[in-house]
């Protein structure tokens, strides 16, 4: 018999966070989170996402052991302002037992019915900065710190329970050597002169901070037309600044500004922390922090996390200035692989952005939907 338990205490939340460590214990592709960070991420007193969203956390228990988990999420901005009557589910992990998946997702449905919502979609997080999608192809590739990894049977469980494809995402990578540094240097110089633009490079995090709020304005303007877009609040931006910007190599953050020093485009790239997180095993101490700091300085793979261009500068090739910046930064560091975060398969603009680099699609992931009524 399977029972469902709602998580209500910090001790239980830690058990919720630890559950995937058991089902991926010997999996060489799964990348564990830092346990404390994950617990804090789910704390309404610490994560400002809860100003516009609510979440309920559940585990499935059989014979005294946790056998599955899920978060039921309602993003109230999405429901009330955008009139998207959706209940989200995320952080979905289960053993290979269809009944476990069924009882967890029925609990999500129950909450959706209570709030008169129309359908369920997942796995997704609270907003666009969170992880998204169940992996459906590419199980033999190392995960990243900004994506979920899962066993192949997750897809089968969802489809057997009547969930259908909602959105599909592609994950691509390319060799840094595929980037034509001479070409981008030439194009970058032409564009900077034509549009009176300037590239900004950084060596100190404190010099980046004054631009971060404006960066999110460009982010929102760039992504607002996507079907998945949910606005990011000022409090969430401040949280992001504190949690992430200070840990990202300042030289991996690039900005382009106009003649009035207004932000036109930006990109955030991170060194790959995947292997370091595997070595850390969920803990910063005693050695986890050392592994992460070593990766920050020496990783030869990088992950393109965010890139955005202000709408009035889109289709003008401005991204070439950013790529030129990265060729000059990465070449001396011996960067090998460039890995991109999941991108919607129907996002033609982003496909054109990367096409010169001969990218390879090495993973596919998908969110699933099921009507409630």
Q: Could you read off the pLDDT of 237-268 as tens digits, one per residue?
A: 888 888 888 889 999 999 999 999 999 999 99
pLDDT number for residue 227: 67
What number of other Cβ atoms are within 10 A of residue 95's Cβ?
17
Q: Predicted confidence band at 128 (pLDDT cuts at 50, 70, 90)?
A: confident
The pTM assigned to this predicted structure is 0.94
pLDDT number for residue 134: 98
Is-same-fold flag (3-169; 174-363)? yes
Rg (CA), the chain: 21
DSSP-derived letter for residue 331 is G
Q: Does domain 3-169 have CATH number 3.90.1530.10?
A: no
CATH topology of domain 174-363: Aminopeptidase (3.40.630)
Q: Could you read off the pLDDT of 343-366 as tens digits, one per residue?
A: 999 888 888 888 889 999 999 999
Q: Could you read off the pLDDT of 292-319 as tens digits, one per residue?
A: 999 999 999 999 998 999 999 998 999 9
**Structure tokens that stand for 259 in this block:** 């003649």
Whether 224 shows a pLDDT value over 80: the answer reads no
pLDDT number for residue 233: 87
Whether 208 shows a pLDDT value over 70: the answer reads yes
DSSP for 49-92, please give it: GGGTEEEEEEEEEETTEEEEEEEEEEEHIIIIIS---EEEEEEE
**Structure tokens that stand for 47 in this block:** 């994560």
Return the domain boundaries, the chain: 3-169, 174-363
pLDDT, mean of residues 261-279: 96
Q: Could you read off the pLDDT of 147-197 as tens digits, one per residue?
A: 999 999 999 999 999 999 999 999 999 999 999 999 999 999 999 999 999
């Amino acid at each position: 018999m399977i029972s469902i338990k709602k998580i209500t205490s910090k001790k239980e939340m830690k058990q919720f966070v630890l559950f995937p460590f058991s089902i991926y214990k010997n999996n060489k592709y799964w990348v564990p989170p830092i346990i404390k960070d994950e617990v804090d991420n789910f704390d309404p007193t610490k994560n400002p996402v809860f100003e516009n969203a609510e979440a309920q956390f559940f585990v499935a228990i059989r014979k005294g052991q946790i056998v599955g988990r899920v978060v039921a999420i309602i993003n109230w901005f999405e429901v009330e302002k955008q009139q998207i009557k959706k209940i989200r589910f995320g952080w979905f992990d289960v053993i290979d037992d269809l009944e476990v998946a069924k009882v967890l997702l029925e609990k999500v449905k129950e909450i959706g019915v209570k709030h008169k919502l129309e359908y369920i979609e997942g796995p997704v997080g609270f907003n666009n900065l969170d992880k998204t999608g169940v992996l459906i192809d590419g199980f033999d590739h190392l995960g990243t710190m900004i994506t979920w990894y899962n066993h192949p049977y997750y897809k089968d469980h969802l489809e057997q329970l009547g969930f259908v494809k909602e959105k599909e995402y592609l994950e691509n990578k390319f060799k840094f050597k595929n980037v034509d540094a001479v070409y981008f240097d030439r194009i970058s110089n032409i564009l900077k002169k034509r549009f009176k633009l300037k590239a900004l490079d950084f060596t100190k995090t404190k010099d980046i901070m004054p631009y971060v709020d404006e960066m999110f304005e460009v982010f929102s303007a760039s992504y607002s037309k996507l079907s998945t877009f949910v606005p990011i609040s000022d409090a969430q931006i401040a949280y992001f600044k504190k949690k992430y910007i200070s840990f990202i190599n300042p030289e991996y953050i690039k900005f382009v500004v106009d003649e009035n020093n207004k932000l036109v485009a930006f990109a955030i790239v991170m060194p790959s922390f995947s292997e370091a997180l595997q070595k850390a095993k969920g803990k910063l101490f005693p050695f986890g922090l050392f592994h992460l700091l070593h990766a920050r300085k020496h990783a030869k793979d990088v992950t393109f996390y965010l890139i955005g261009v202000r709408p009035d500068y889109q289709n003008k090739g401005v991204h070439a200035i950013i790529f030129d910046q990265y060729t000059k930064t990465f070449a001396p560091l011996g960067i090998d692989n460039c890995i991109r975060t999941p991108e919607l398969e129907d996002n033609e603009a982003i496909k054109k952005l990367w096409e010169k680099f001969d990218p390879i699609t090495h993973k596919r992931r998908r969110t699933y939907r099921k009507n409630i009524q």
